[in-house]
Every structure is written in C-alpha cells, then in structure tokens.
Amino acid sequence: MVALRAVLVAALAASADAAGLRGRTALTVNPIRRVVTMLQGMQTKIVEEGKRDQELYGKFMCYCQTGASDLAASVQAAETKM
C-alpha cells in the first residue's frame, strides 16, 4: 500500500512537471517571430519619423522662401526709424 502510494505520488509529480514544461514552451516566443516583430516595430517608427521630417522640411523651405523678404522688410523698417 505504501509502495503504491509512493508510485502514485511520483507519477503525479512527473505529470505535473511535464505539464509545466509544456506550458513554458508554449509561452515562449519563437526567436524568428521576435526578430520579425522587432523589425516591424522599427519600420513603423521610421515611417512616422519620415512623415515628421517631411513636415519639418516643408516648414523650413517655406521659411527659406519667405524669410529673406521678411528680414529685408524688418531691416528697412529699422533703418527708417533711426
């Protein structure tokens, strides 16, 4: 009876370890999937940065085209005040 109980406890412990091992391997992510996910995240960030940079470039070009005439007008106004 004691031997049967010991065998039963050992079998339950082994099955619990096996179930825990299966659960852990199911929860780990495939390394290739991790790299693909990381690259997709990087791609999203780069696209967002590109849009932001495009907008800043547009503002800068607008300033470059109109900034010289605005500066010349303010210099002329300052000279007339003196």
Predicted confidence (pLDDT) at residue 70 exceeds the cutoff of 70: yes
At residue 63 the predicted structure's pLDDT band, cuts being 50, 70 and 90, is confident
pLDDT of residue 60: 87
Residue, of 75 and 45, whose pLDDT is higher: 45
- 41/23 Cα distance (integer angstroms): 27
Q: What is the pLDDT of residues 6-51, one digit of tens each?
A: 665 666 666 655 555 555 555 678 999 999 999 999 999 999 999 9
- 39/45 Cα distance (integer angstroms): 10
Output the DSSP codes for the chain: -HHHHHHHHHHHHHHHHHHHHHHHHHHSPPHHHHHHHHHHHHHHHHHHHHHHHHHHHHHHHHHHHHHHHHHHHHHHHHHHH-
